[in-house]
Structure 1
Amino acid sequence: MENDALDDAPDTPDRRRVRRRVLIASVAGCAVLGGVLALLPWGPGEPRGASPAPGAQALAAVTSGVPAALPDLAVLIDEREARLRAHPEDFRSWAVLGAAYVEQGRRTAQPVNYPKAEKALRTSLKLRARNAEALDGMAALANARRDFRAARTWGEAALRADRTRWTTYPLLIDAYTGLGDHKAAKRTLDRLLKLRSGPAVRARAAAVYRDRGRREDAAAALSDAAAAARAPAERAAYLERGGQLAWERGDLDVALRHFQEAVRLDPDQRAALAGQGRTLAALGRTTEALNAYRVALAKQPCPEYALELGELYESLGLGQAARVQYDLLRERVRLAAAGGVDEELVLGLFEADHGDARSAVRRLRAEWRRQPGVAVADALGWALHRAGENKEALKFARLATDRERGGTVRSALYVYHRGMIERELKLTGPARRHLEEALRINPRFSPTRAPLAEAALKELGEPSVEDVPDMDGKAGRGERTGVNGRG
């Protein structure tokens, strides 16, 4: 090759002059290229340069839809606030500041960040109407607040402003999924895949695959995303999602490795710490599980973590410790509401199992009217069951679990809920099948519910002739007695 030939040539004064010129040109070219890369999101196949400063790293992350490290976000926020004090008409800096506040609030579970984010983003829009950066930020803010209708509105407005802006599409996928519109989520993913590739896109595709029951495809996409991620915080986020996917399918050792590696790469990855707690509890390593949950809650006090830890305490017979966590959950939900965050889903699940089931039904009916996603269908069905309204409960449990109705997520908890509702309705065959399926998906899906599923199966006993489908694939009499004739 030509370069090899140059390397083998005799060292002469002319050759040394050529080397100096090549070196000077190379350095100048790298300086120019580095300046360009600082302004553009990283993508697949783009060359890696020297590690940028923390603020630049966070800027690249928040403008390209990937997770950012918390210390870098703090630096970016300080930098943008300083710039805006000197240049208050800089609409792009207002948009970046708003997006950084959203990401900081999401990573820390501190809803106080969200009103600040909204103020910054609306200032950007006031300075420059229809700018896609601020519209994207408003969509991300609405998703973080679990206001999926608003997220859809903002995301669609961002696309009207700039249809080629690929970072809008993942925000819309989240919004459509939260609203239960899985066909729109799939169409949006297809458009995204035509526009862009890379780790962030693979991770978003994985979420859609998971929601459609394609767990192997989801795991492969997350593995590829983690391998291709540029920054530790980004890779840690994808590993955490991979761990959650492994947990859902009962691969506890795989899940634990993913969660541990995520925390090693990014000690602020508290979702992975909570995942460790969940997995260690299932493996019987209770002391380690309690410690992992406590650390996660100390830095990222999410209501769902408090619920999980409370239920773990309850399974250990530590009722007082469980009540402390349930009080924390209520307080976190109150603070979230003050920041505009909708936590009715987790509060409804808590009330159904540990509080006032009728209150849970009222809350979750209202949530279903606002955003009828699969998770809400499951929660409402379970709350109705706990309130004694089992026939209506089964309708929602079917929505959450029947492929024909959009419930393609393979969730042990959803299937367990359906099986227990069918058991109460004396639908013995369907109840047995669904409880067995829940334990097959993940035998240790909950420290409190998995033992209840096992006990219910033991009580149901072995299948009878009536529970065996006939040659046409239709169920026996034990199944045909269900609501609407469906099991």
Structure 2
Amino acid sequence: MWKTIPLLAAALAVAACASPQAATPAATQTSSLQRNAESLQAKLRGTPDDPAAWAQLGATHVELARVTFDPQHYPRAERALTESLRLKPEGNGEAYIGRGALANARHDFAAARDWGQRAVAALPHSAQAQGVVVDALTQLGDDAGASVALQRMLDLQPGVASFTRAAHHFELHGRLDEARVALDRALESASSPEAAAFCRFQLDELKGRTDEEELKTYLELVSRVPSPEHLVRYGRALDKVGKPQEARAQYDLALRQSRALGGDDLTAALIAADHGDPAEALRFAEKEWAKRQSAFTADAMAWALHVNERSAEALPYSDKAVALGWRDPEVLRHREAILGSLR
């Protein structure tokens, strides 16, 4: 599929064009989601036997957790989705999508895959259902399966959600020009300031920045979206400009944030490998590898083994990390150090 990409090319050509708008604070999106949650709660007080409304409420709390990084939204989402499935246990595609999105958010990717596949069976023409499967299979290291689900998602709905996933897929395969094209189409399709800002950020990530530009970008980003990933990147930017103590504070905060969100041990493994206990880094990496064998966990395993002076064992994992063509600067830094130690 991705060698000739005829269907992707067609999808890019028919993308809806909308003028990107200036980014607005994340609080705007949070307020909109919160109002939606309150409206659904009011509706459910009057009609508590509405499985669709419960599913919508659950999905809204998953999204609120994503934009606010408040883990309290996860149990709220789970309660709402559980109630939806109690009322309609079979063929409840919207609730399956919500459960899949929740499992992806909690980094339970095997469960997310299963819920996503149930959603696809119930709603075969749902791009959202395919998106759940794409995300789960990518993290589980099933590249072929993720490719099929992504193509189906593009066929069903060529918009921001599918184009940004296509860009990520291309980036993992080292096809950066195609990733930029997909992000350009995503930006053209963006119908909200938040979506447009996200697309612009991803485009800037591919273009690269000076150390000072990177520092400014991540400082602004973590002030609005303090995700563990962004905190780690901000820490790296601080390290590059000679501010190790400030960087360490960001790494510590990233670990606390990841734990509060019930995230995986991938972030912890990479931070411990560079700034903590090598043995602990390897324990974290092995725990993640037992759950999913993706390029991301392969890189974490390779680096954890290397810092434990086991570079010969690290090399096969490093090979797997770049096997698809992924050329992330940190991954390449890890690989160069491993290869250098074996010469």
Shorter-chain TM-score range? 0.7 to 0.9
Q: Tell me the percent identity.
A: 35
* Residue 244 of structure 2 is aligned to residue 284 of structure 1: no
Give the equivalent residue in structure 2 for 1:99. 59
Q: Which of these two proteins has the greater Rg computed from alpha carbons?
A: 1
Please list every run of 5 or more consecutive structure 2 residues that lacks an aligned counterpart in the other structure. Answer: 1-13, 19-27
Change (3 A) 1:357 1:74: same
Question: In the aligned structure 2, how far is the partner of 1:143 from the partner of 1:373?
Answer: 15
Question: In the aligned structure 2, how far is the partner of 1:310 from the partner of 1:46?
Answer: 37
* Residue 339 of structure 2 is aligned to residue 411 of structure 1: no
- 1:73-472 equivalence runs, <5 A: 73-130=33-90, 131-247=92-208, 252=209, 282-284=210-212, 289=215, 293-337=218-262, 341-342=263-264, 344-402=265-323, 407-426=324-343
Query: By how many angstroms is 1:97 displaced?
Result: 0.9
Encode CA deviations 1:4-49: one digit per residue, 9 max, x unaligned. Answer: xxxxxxxxxxxxxxxxxxxxxxxxxxxxxxxxxxxxxxxx79999x
Question: In the aligned structure 2, how far is the partner of 1:326 from the partner of 1:70?
Answer: 25
Query: By how many angstroms is 1:171 displaced?
Result: 1.3
Change (3 A) 1:200 1:336: closer
AA at the equivalent of 1:284: E
Q: Does the aligned pair in 2 maintain the 1:212–1:408 contact within 8 Å?
A: yes
Secondary structure in structure 2 of the residue aligned to 1:111: coil
AA at the equivalent of 2:169: V
Give the equivalent residue in structure 2 for 1:61. none
AA at the equivalent of 1:304: E
Query: By how many angstroms is 1:168 displaced?
Result: 0.7
Change (3 A) 1:201 1:323: closer
More divergent stretch after superposition (292-301 vs 144-153): 292-301
AA at the equivalent of 2:88: R
Change (3 A) 1:380 1:325: same
More divergent stretch after superposition (202-211 vs 356-365): 202-211
Q: Does the aligned pair in 1 maintain the 2:211–2:241 contact within 8 Å?
A: no
Change (3 A) 1:239 1:303: same
* Residue 32 of structure 2 is aligned to residue 72 of structure 1: yes
Q: How many correspondences in the alignment?
A: 320
AA at the equivalent of 2:99: M
Encode CA deviations 1:356-377: one digit per residue, 9 max, x unaligned. Answer: 1111111111101101110110
Secondary structure in structure 2 of the residue aligned to 1:176: helix
Question: In the aligned structure 2, how far is the partner of 1:418 from the partner of 1:354?
Answer: 18
Query: By how many angstroms is 1:316 displaced?
Result: 4.4
Change (3 A) 1:322 1:196: closer
Question: In the aligned structure 1, how far is the partner of 2:238 from the partner of 2:137?
Answer: 36
Question: In the aligned structure 1, how far is the partner of 2:221 from the partner of 2:17?
Answer: 36
Please list every run of 5 or more consecutive structure 1 residues that lacks an aligned counterpart in the other structure. Answer: 1-43, 49-67, 253-281, 427-487
Query: By how many angstroms is 1:241 displaced?
Result: 2.2
TM-score normalized by structure 1? 0.61
Change (3 A) 1:332 1:203: closer
Q: Does the aligned pair in 1 maintain the 2:269–2:285 contact within 8 Å?
A: yes
Change (3 A) 1:232 1:298: closer
Change (3 A) 1:333 1:91: same
Question: In the aligned structure 2, how far is the partner of 1:150 from the partner of 1:102?
Answer: 15
Question: In the aligned structure 2, how far is the partner of 1:178 from the partner of 1:239?
Answer: 24
Query: By how many angstroms is 1:417 displaced?
Result: 1.1
Encode CA deviations 1:244-264: one digit per residue, 9 max, x unaligned. Answer: 2323xxxx3xxxxxxxxxxxx
Question: In the aligned structure 2, how far is the partner of 1:416 from the partner of 1:97?
Answer: 43
Q: Does the aligned pair in 2 maintain the 1:108–1:299 contact within 8 Å?
A: no
Question: In the aligned structure 1, how far is the partner of 2:237 from the partner of 2:289?
Answer: 28
Query: By how many angstroms is 1:285 displaced?
Result: 5.2
Secondary structure in structure 1 of the residue aligned to 2:70: coil
Question: In the aligned structure 2, how far is the partner of 1:133 from the partner of 1:229?
Answer: 23
Question: In the aligned structure 1, how far is the partner of 2:118 from the partner of 2:71?
Answer: 25
More divergent stretch after superposition (118-127 vs 300-309): 300-309
Change (3 A) 1:295 1:240: closer
Structure scoring higher RCO (CA < 8 A, sep ≥ 6) equals: 2
Question: In the aligned structure 2, how far is the partner of 1:303 from the partner of 1:195?
Answer: 32
Secondary structure in structure 2 of the residue aligned to 1:146: coil
Change (3 A) 1:325 1:225: closer
Change (3 A) 1:218 1:45: closer
Question: In the aligned structure 2, how far is the partner of 1:311 from the partner of 1:237?
Answer: 21
Question: In the aligned structure 1, how far is the partner of 2:39 from the partner of 2:148?
Answer: 38
Change (3 A) 1:190 1:395: same
